[in-house]
Amino acid sequence: VVGHPKYQESKRIAIFLSMPDEIQTEEIIEDIFKQGKECFIPRYKPRSNHMDMLKLSSAEDISSLTLTSWNILQPSDDDSAREEALAGGGLDLIFMPGLGFDKKGNRLGRGKGYYDTYLERCMKHPSGKPYTIALAFREQICESVPVAENDIQVDEILYEDC
């Protein structure tokens, strides 16, 4: 991941904080800061499909986050001091989670449409749609995954031995 050309050229990167059943992103986050890049993480709004990408100040900043009912660490709702990526310079790259992927770039998420809705907002930002890379285990690559009309394909899927 850290040797990928899109990662190397990106300055503003959004990445998910992994759940136990996802590719672990901790080392990537540490590298983002080591390389002097800006790191943004999701904050999901419950009972909606709205998500923002908020800036982390350091890898250690993760320990200050609150645990949601989904067991995901994220900035609290009353944390208004953090920059939201689209309120600033947008994003160059988004690393995306998922439950399953096909080789056409279709992604099966957890069903709320957070990333698809966020990418639609990115397309309206002056910096445009960021490059999207899904991080997957080989076992998550399928012949096909169910697709809805508002689903946005990922640009690339990285998995071991790909």
Burial class (CB in 10 A: 0-12, 13-18, 19+), 48: exposed
- Binding site for substrate, by residue number, is 17, 22
How many angstroms separate the first and last alpha carbons of the chain?
12
Which domains, and CATH codes, for the chain?
5-158 (3.40.50.10420)
Q: State the binding site for ATP.
A: 107-115
Q: Cα separation of 153 and 52, whole Å?
A: 19
pLDDT band with cut points at 50, 70 and 90 for residue 65: very high
128-141: average pLDDT:
96
Distance (Å, whole) CA 152 – CA 63 = 32
Which residues are part of a known binding site? 17, 22, 107-115
Residue from 160, 157, 30, 11 nearest 95 by CA: 157
The model's pTM is 0.94
| 73-123 pLDDT, tens digit each | 999 888 889 999 999 999 999 999 999 999 899 999 887 889 999 999 999
Q: What angle do CA 68, 74, 75 make, to 5 degrees?
A: 115
Helix (H, G, I), strand (E, B) or coil at 26: helix
DSSP 60: G
The pLDDT of residue 79 is: 86
